């Protein structure tokens, strides 16, 4: 092939698949970690896969695996999941203005597969023009398919390995958070927001504000961010 990639007219599915590749590379190992931890927490292979199919929110699934392992009650697991995933409300609100011409059913399908990573991908692309619906759904479907593949691999592996600590798998979630923060930082005020919010969250937790420390710190931290923007210079409009 001598033609440049831009010159090749790709089907929206192929194009979506290619764009989703970085997400796939992240989701397979992390889905695998979830699969292993869920097995260790006593979930059947069916339930492990169902969580990845129906909940499909990586960090909350890893947190939930820990809670199932600790024998936490159902209500506590659901409440924690709600709090950890409440940020999707904000991601969804941020992406919604770009999808004004979509129907309710299409929005329902899109929202179902909205994750931190698909959000990051779409949020980077939509301001310059929303691609075809087929391509958007191809990206989202590819991402969730890789999450399920990773989960299935992990569920299989979980029956073979005895402990996850020697492999450092319990650090996957913090490492993922670090990478997602660093990749989103474009200006100095965001570093301030990250440090202030993180510190506040730690203080709240140490003071005994469990479960809610994440959402309280987030609301205060993002608000401080707006003031930092206004204070350092007038934000570009």
Partner 1 sequence: MDQRTIFLTILGMAAVTYLPRLLPTWLLSSRELPRWLVLWLRHVPVAVLAAMLFPAIMTQHGRLHLGLDNVFLLASIPTVLVAWRTRSLFGSVITGIIVVALARLVLPL
CA–chain centroid gap for 214, Å, is: 15
Spatial distance between the Cα atoms of 42 and 204, rounded to a whole number of angstroms: 31
End-to-end CA distance of the chain: 43
Helix (H) and strand (E) counts in the chain: 12, 0
Q: With respect to partner 1, which residue has the nearer C-beta, 38 or 138?
A: 38
Asked if 137 is part of the footprint of partner 1 (rule: CB under 8 A), the reply reads: no
> CB-based burial of residue 35 (10 Å sphere; 0-12 exposed, 13-18 middle, 19+ buried)?
buried
Q: Which is nearer to partner 1, 17 or 172 (CB)?
A: 172
Contact between residue 110 and residue 140 where contact means Cβ atoms under 8 Å apart: yes
Residues 156-215 that bind partner 1 (CB under 8 A): 165-185, 190, 193-195, 197-202, 205-206, 208, 210, 213-215
Residues in region 25-84 near partner 1 by CB under 8 A: 25-26, 29-30, 42-44, 46-47, 50-51, 54-57, 59-60, 64, 68, 71, 74, 77-78, 81-82, 84
Based on CB atoms, which residue is closest to partner 1, 145 or 228?
228
Cα separations in angstroms, 181 against 17, 46, 72, 162: 24, 33, 29, 32
Ranges within 9-28 binding partner 1 (CB under 8 A): 22-23, 25-26
Residues 81-120 that bind partner 1 (CB under 8 A): 81-82, 84-97, 99-100, 102, 104, 107-108, 110-112, 114, 116-117, 119-120
CB closer to partner 1, 7 vs 75: 75
């Amino acid at each position: 092939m001598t033609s440049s990639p831009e010159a090749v007219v790709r089907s929206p599915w192929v194009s979506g698949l290619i764009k989703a590749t970085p997400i796939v590379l992240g989701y397979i190992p992390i889905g695998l970690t979830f699969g292993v931890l869920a097995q260790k927490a006593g979930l059947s292979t069916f339930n492990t896969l169902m969580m990845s199919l129906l909940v499909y929110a990586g960090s909350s699934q890893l947190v939930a695996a820990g809670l199932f392992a600790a024998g936490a009650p159902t209500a506590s697991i659901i409440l924690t999941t709600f709090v950890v995933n409440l940020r999707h409300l904000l991601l969804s609100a941020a992406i919604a203005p770009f999808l004004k011409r979509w129907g309710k059913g299409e929005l329902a399908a899109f929202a179902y597969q909205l994750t931190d990573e698909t959000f990051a991908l779409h949020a980077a692309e939509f301001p310059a023009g929303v691609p075809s619906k087929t391509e958007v759904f191809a990206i989202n479907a590819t991402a969730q398919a890789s999450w399920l593949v990773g989960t299935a691999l992990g569920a299989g592996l979980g029956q073979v390995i005895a402990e996850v600590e020697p492999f450092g798998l319990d650090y996957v979630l913090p490492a993922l958070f670090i990478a997602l923060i660093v990749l989103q930082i474009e200006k100095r005020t965001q570093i301030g927001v990250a440090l202030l919010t993180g510190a506040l969250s730690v203080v709240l937790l140490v003071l005994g504000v469990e479960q809610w420390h994440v959402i309280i710190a987030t609301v205060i931290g993002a608000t401080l961010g707006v003031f930092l923007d206004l204070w350092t210079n007038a934000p570009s409009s």
